[in-house]
Amino acid sequence: MNRSELVAALADRAEVTRKDADAVLAAFAEVVGEVVAKGDEKVTIPGFLTFERTHRAARTARNPQTGEPIQIAAGYSAKVSAGSKLKEAAKGA
């Protein structure tokens, strides 16, 4: 399912226009992005998803072409975890 299909499904389910559903989806993505970018808290939709920012430590890796060790700097990553209801839906229950 792509974005336009998701917007259409949301609009049908919530009985709103596609324009309104698209605006809500865009606002949701923007808010989640801002909270994750700050990194001081996580966004949780109970039973469905959790979004959070995680720290990745600096590490040594190896260049696959030359075999030389290279340093990868520390940084941040986004972590998305499935909640219990989403896991059950994935199982087909």
Task: Return the pLDDT at 18.
Answer: 96
- For 9-45, the pLDDT digits (tens) are 999 999 999 999 999 999 999 999 999 999 889 999 9
At residue 44, the pLDDT reads: 95
**Per-residue pLDDT, 92:** 84
The whole-angstrom separation of Cα 93 and Cα 25 is 27
pTM for the predicted model, two decimal places = 0.76
Number of helices (H) and strands (E) in the chain: give both, helices first.
3, 5
Q: In the beta sheet, which residues pair with residue 53?
A: 78
